[in-house]
């Protein structure tokens, strides 16, 4: 049984829909302001040609200075530090201070630690987080060791395009041969209290298959999905968002623990079910997410 002192409510983040936007596309960067995604990845890596990297950084510099995205997490995906572009990308990160820096193709603890050290040495805010792309066989195998490496690390993002390429696994419906690896990543994240975001779905015109993959990802325990097209935002928000019935049940749990004589109990009886205080923490997290969504809908 979990002791009262053992339970802590982690910071609440809404990460149902994580839209990837090429930093080289100025029009796409501006359009993000009108979209209902929970977060935006401003990509400096795969979606930007080498000769366009400097221009893409300038686009982000202007965006953060003149028209920053409000109310959503802002994420800059850098090029690997070992490339010729990585240092310049990190200079931009420390200059504009997004919410998150996303490291691609993470395979070892040292890659996360190197970025964390740069942030610390540059005096970056303590809440400037790190996310890690897990998209290679070594990344999957080393995920349990990578997850606890630094307190800035908040999230794994799965990249299946590279993982399929390196393993030869075909892109089949249901992802049967990928599920064991995906669950390894989810388990590693959950073991160390970090979120895990499901991979992109490439065929954005196949709405039915995308819905199915969202439902699968939610059932597997992912916090949300990385997206490549605005049309994918609404289905992702729906599948990974709080279910209305679950919110009602969570509110009942919160009310029960707030009742007379229950404030200091670790376990209560709620309608014939044993409910532990750890369920209260989950209920508070769920209702907090529902409130964030409701407040965003009120914002013009």
For residues 204 and 288, state if they share a domain: no
Res 9: pLDDT: 47
For residues 248 and 212, state if they share a domain: no
52-97 confidence digits (pLDDT tens):
999 999 999 999 999 999 889 999 999 999 999 999 999 999 999 9
7 part of a folded domain: no
Q: Is 58 annotated as a binding residue?
A: no
For residues 114 and 98, state if they share a domain: yes
2 part of a folded domain: no
Tell me the pairing of strands 267-270 and 273-276: antiparallel
In 3D, which of 117, 107, 106 has the Cα closest to residue 77?
106
In 3D, which of 37, 4, 40, 38 has the Cα closest to residue 20?
40
State mean pLDDT over 190-201. Answer: 96
Q: Give the domain CATH number at 229.
A: 3.20.20.60
Q: What is the distance between the terminal CA atoms of the chain, rounded to a whole angstrom?
A: 45
C-alpha–C-alpha distance, residues 12 and 34, integer Å: 23
37 part of a folded domain: yes
9 part of a folded domain: no
Q: Where in the sequence is the domain holding 105, given as residue range(s)? A: 17-240
Res 10: pLDDT: 57
For residues 56 and 104, state if they share a domain: yes
Distance of CA 169 to CAs 114, 139, 225, Å? Answer: 31, 16, 20
C-alpha–C-alpha distance, residues 105 and 159, integer Å: 8
Q: Is the pLDDT of residue 4 over 70?
A: no
4 part of a folded domain: no
36 part of a folded domain: yes
Q: Is the pLDDT of residue 230 over 50?
A: yes
Lowest mean pLDDT among 202-206, 244-248, 273-277: 273-277
The last residue of one of the domains, among 240, 255, 279, is 240
For residues 235 and 249, state if they share a domain: no
Res 71: pLDDT: 87
For residues 185 and 263, state if they share a domain: no
pTM for the complete prediction? 0.89
For residues 22 and 145, state if they share a domain: yes
For residues 216 and 261, state if they share a domain: no
Q: Is 77 annotated as a binding residue?
A: yes
For residues 210 and 264, state if they share a domain: no
Q: In total, how many domains does the chain have?
A: 2
The last residue of one of the domains, among 207, 224, 240, is 240
Q: Is the pLDDT of residue 1 over 70?
A: no
The last residue of one of the domains, among 240, 266, 283, is 240
214-229 confidence digits (pLDDT tens):
999 999 999 999 999 9
State mean pLDDT over 207-218. Answer: 97
For residues 207 and 127, state if they share a domain: yes
Q: Is 107 annotated as a binding residue?
A: no
Lowest mean pLDDT among 128-132, 218-222, 241-245: 241-245
Res 300: pLDDT: 56
Res 2: pLDDT: 38
């Amino acid at each position: 049984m979990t002791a009262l002192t053992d339970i802590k409510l982690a910071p609440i983040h809404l990460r149902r829909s994580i839209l990837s936007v090429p930093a080289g596309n100025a029009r796409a960067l501006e359009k993000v302001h009108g979209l209902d995604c929970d977060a935006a990845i401003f990509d400096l890596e795969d979606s930007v040609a080498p000769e366009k990297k400097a221009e893409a950084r300038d686009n982000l510099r202007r965006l953060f200075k003149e028209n920053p995205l409000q109310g959503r997490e802002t994420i800059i995906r850098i090029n690997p530090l070992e490339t010729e572009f990585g240092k310049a990308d990190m200079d931009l990160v420390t200059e504009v201070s997004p919410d998150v820096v996303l490291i691609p193709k993470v395979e070892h603890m040292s890659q996360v630690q190197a970025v964390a050290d740069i942030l610390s040495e540059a005096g970056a805010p303590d809440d400037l987080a790190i996310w890690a792309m897990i998209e290679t066989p070594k990344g999957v195998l080393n995920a349990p060791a990578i997850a606890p490496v630094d307190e800035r690390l908040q999230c794994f993002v799965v990249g299946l395009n590279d993982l399929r390429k390196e393993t030869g696994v075909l892109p089949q419906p249901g992802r049967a041969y990928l599920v064991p690896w995906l669950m390894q990543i989810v388990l590693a994240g959950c073991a160390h209290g970090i979120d895990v975001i499901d991979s992109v779905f490439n065929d954005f015109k196949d709405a039915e298959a995308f819905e199915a993959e969202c439902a699968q990802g939610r059932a597997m325990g992912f916090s949300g999905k990385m997206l490549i097209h605005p049309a994918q935002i609404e289905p992702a928000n729906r599948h990974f968002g709080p279910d209305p019935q679950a919110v009602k049940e969570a509110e009942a749990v919160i009310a029960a623990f707030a009742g007379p004589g229950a404030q200091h109990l670790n376990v209560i009886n709620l309608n014939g079910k044993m409910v532990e205080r750890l369920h209260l923490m989950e209920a508070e997290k769920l209702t907090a997410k529902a409130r964030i969504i409701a407040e965003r809908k009120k914002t013009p």
